[in-house]
């Protein structure tokens, strides 16, 4: 090659090389895709604090977890760290709707972690509670502080949140009055004590608030340019038409019902073209550099999703209209790559962590009838929705055996106790481990199928007695039908 070409060619290769580096680098910052939490991502609360994002979501169990990541996309693979567990029977279970707010406590700023909880195996005793952090680390440690309630209306209550306005603190929550699940506000003397009775601020009244149930819940304050709003979830969370509405404070005193004006139309709802259904129970957060407002919410991926652990966590940027109202836009598809929040140079950890193999237990000889849970009780049924879907995992009491986890209630396992067959969350007892562990045996009616033998009670199998799913002794199975009822096609 003659000399006069070497310099220009070198310059060309150098330029191409730099271009490649730039393209690769920008690809790393290309953004992220939802969901941020693919399983058990309901009722999310997400905030950015001192260099990290923190995310917590409903667990339906007795434990709270916190995910932490320097990037929004990193939340997808951040390990959920246990920050609190409660075995007090009065408030052990059904942990719902976490919100953690940095507020003034008696010893300075503390994280106050609000949530709903109740007693085991029922949803009728839900109340609102709050934890207090020892310092200013959102990872805790946390200690139980109080049940937050209005002594003059001490009823079922959920979805607690707080509003800070003009130096005062207010408690927001959802509670029943007759057949209506309404929104209420009450004044607070400190982050764990109300200083007065509740006032009604929203009752489901528009048609878009009463699809599947007269429901207003998940209130969350949103303040911008001197305006104060409360965004809330409306209609039943078990329908694809769960959606967001908004209240606007039009007077000075938030404790006056008429000072809250409800916008006549929803501001965020299902987007069938994007396969987003039941978007709701949201929070808001600000980008790392403080210039952007974002929404975090949950949604289902199909119309047959329900109000369960399959709802997943999503986030997207919002904007502001000329009238001062937030523009939440349309919930985006999970295939859409979103730009990272301003000031976040995150990456989207692309590797798929693998989806667990879903198993069904079809009653032998009864095609289409699958073991499934309803109100935690397990019995055969003709649905193959998430209630009939399980993941087989190493045995909780013995890794050489197996345990069977519900797909839509993560952390809930197939359990036998005194003959009852149900799904149960970890109550931290040895009995839970023993009673939620099984052996997969050749089918009692056909060795090509399977039977589920209790680890805790060898010789006893999941079967039926007088039409009820229960634990049956192999020795007691006299008829072919009884043997078939204790045998399953594992699909
Ligand atoms: O997801 C559990 C509960 O269901 C939420 O706290 C509430 O918003 C909804 O009713």
**pLDDT digit string (tens) for 71-80?**
999 999 899 9
Of 198 and 38, the one with more pLDDT: 198
Residue 101 maps to a domain: yes
pLDDT of residue 339: 93
Residues 449 and 332 in one domain: no
Residues 483 and 431 in one domain: yes
Domain termination residue (choose one: 352, 385, 403) = 352
Residues 399 and 335 in one domain: no
Residue 29 maps to a domain: no
Residue with the two structure tokens 């938030």: 254
pLDDT of residue 357: 84
Residue 237 maps to a domain: yes
pTM surpassing 0.75?
Answer: no
CA of residue 172 to ligand 1 center, whole Å: 15
CA of residue 280 to ligand 1 center, whole Å: 10
Residues 6 or more apart whose Cβ sits within 8 Å of residue 103: 109, 110, 112, 162, 164, 169, 191
pLDDT of residue 24: 38
Dist. CA 127–CA 123, nearest whole Å: 10
Residues 230 and 362 in one domain: no
Ligand 1 atom at minimum distance from 96 CA: 6
Tens of pLDDT, residues 297-324: 999 999 988 898 889 999 999 999 999 9
Tens of pLDDT, residues 132-167: 999 999 999 999 999 999 999 999 999 999 999 999
Dist. CA 315–CA 299, nearest whole Å: 10
Dist. CA 142–CA 61, nearest whole Å: 17
Residues 298 and 399 in one domain: no
pLDDT of residue 17: 47
Residues 329 and 365 in one domain: no
Residues 364 and 223 in one domain: no
Q: How many residues does this entry show for the chain?
A: 491
Give the least confident one: 342-346, 386-390, 436-440.
Answer: 342-346
Residues 320 and 409 in one domain: no
Tens of pLDDT, residues 103-134: 999 999 999 999 999 999 899 999 999 999 99
Tens of pLDDT, residues 199-240: 999 999 999 999 999 999 999 999 999 999 999 999 999 999
- β-strands 52-56, 63-69 pairing: antiparallel
Residue 446 has pLDDT above 70, yes or no: yes
Tens of pLDDT, residues 247-300: 999 999 999 999 999 999 999 999 999 999 999 999 999 999 999 999 999 999
Of 56, 211, 307, best ligand 1 pocket probe by most atoms within 8 Å of the beta carbon: 307
Residue 26 maps to a domain: no
Number of domains, the chain: 2
Residue 90 maps to a domain: yes
Whether 409 is in the pocket of ligand 1, judged by its Cβ within 6 Å, is no
Residues 140 and 286 in one domain: yes
Q: What is the mean pLDDT of the chain?
A: 91
Ligand 1 atom at minimum distance from 42 CA: 1
Q: Which domain holds residue 439?
A: 3-7+356-490
Ligand 1 atom at minimum distance from 311 CA: 1
Residues 144 and 46 in one domain: yes
Domain termination residue (choose one: 352, 383, 408) = 352
Residue 453 β-bridge partners? 439, 461
Residue 367 maps to a domain: yes
Ligand 1 atom at minimum distance from 60 CA: 2
Residues 170 and 72 in one domain: yes
Closest CA relative to residue 365, chosen from 448, 477, 470: 448
Residue 9 has pLDDT above 90, yes or no: no
Residues 277 and 134 in one domain: yes
pLDDT of residue 149: 98
pLDDT of residue 408: 85
Domain termination residue (choose one: 315, 334, 352) = 352
């Amino acid at each position: 090659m003659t000399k006069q070409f070497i310099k220009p060619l070198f310059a060309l290769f150098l330029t191409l090389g730099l271009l490649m580096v730039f393209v690769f680098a920008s690809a790393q910052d290309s953004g992220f895709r939802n969901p941020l939490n693919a399983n058990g991502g309901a009722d999310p609360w997400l905030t950015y604090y001192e260099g990290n994002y923190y995310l917590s979501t409903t667990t339906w169990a007795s434990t709270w977890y916190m995910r932490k990541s320097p990037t929004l996309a990193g939340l997808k693979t951040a390990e959920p760290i246990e920050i609190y567990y409660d075995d007090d029977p009065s408030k052990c279970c059904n942990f719902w709707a976490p919100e953690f707010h940095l507020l003034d406590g008696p010893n300075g700023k503390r994280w106050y972690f609000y949530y709903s909880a109740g007693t085991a195996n029922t949803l009728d005793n839900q109340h609102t509670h709050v934890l207090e952090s020892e310092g200013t680390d959102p990872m805790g440690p946390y200690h139980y502080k109080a049940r937050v309630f209005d002594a003059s209306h001490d009823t079922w209550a959920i979805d607690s949140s707080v509003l800070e306005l003009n130096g005062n603190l207010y408690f927001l929550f959802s509670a029943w009055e007759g057949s209506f699940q309404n929104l209420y506000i009450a004044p607070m003397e400190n982050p764990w004590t109300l200083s007065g009775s509740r006032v009604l601020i929203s009752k489901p009244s528009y048609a878009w608030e009463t699809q599947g149930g007269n429901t207003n819940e998940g209130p969350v304050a949103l303040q911008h340019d001197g305006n104060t709003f409360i965004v809330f979830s409306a209609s039943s969370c078990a329908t694809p038409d769960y959606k967001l509405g908004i209240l606007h404070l039009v007077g000075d005193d938030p404790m006056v019902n008429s000072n809250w004006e409800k916008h006549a139309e929803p501001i965020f709802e299902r987007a069938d073209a994007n396969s987003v259904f039941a978007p709701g129970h949201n929070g808001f957060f600000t980008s790392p550099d403080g210039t952007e407002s974002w929404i975090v919410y949950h949604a289902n991926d199909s119309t047959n999703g329900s109000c369960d652990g399959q709802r997943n966590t999503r986030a997207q940027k919002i904007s502001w209209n000329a009238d001062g109202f937030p523009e939440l836009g349309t919930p985006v598809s999970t295939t859409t790559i979103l730009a990272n929040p301003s000031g976040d140079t995150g990456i989207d950890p692309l590797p798929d962590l693998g989806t667990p193999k879903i198993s069904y237990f079809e009653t032998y000889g009864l095609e289409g009838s699958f073991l499934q849970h309803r109100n935690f009780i397990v019995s055969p049924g003709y649905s193959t929705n998430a209630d009939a879907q399980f993941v087989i995992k190493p045995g909780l009491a013995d890794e050489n055996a197996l345990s069977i986890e519900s797909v839509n209630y993560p952390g809930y396992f197939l359990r036998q106790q005194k003959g009852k067959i149900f799904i149960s969350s970890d109550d931290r007892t040895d009995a839970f481990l023993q009673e939620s562990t099984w052996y997969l045996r050749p089918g009692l009616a056909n060795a090509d199928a399977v039977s589920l033998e209790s680890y805790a009670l060898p010789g006893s199998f999941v079967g039926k007695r007088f039409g009820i799913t229960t634990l049956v002794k192999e020795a007691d199975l006299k008829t072919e039908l009884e043997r078939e009822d204790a045998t399953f096609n594992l699909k």
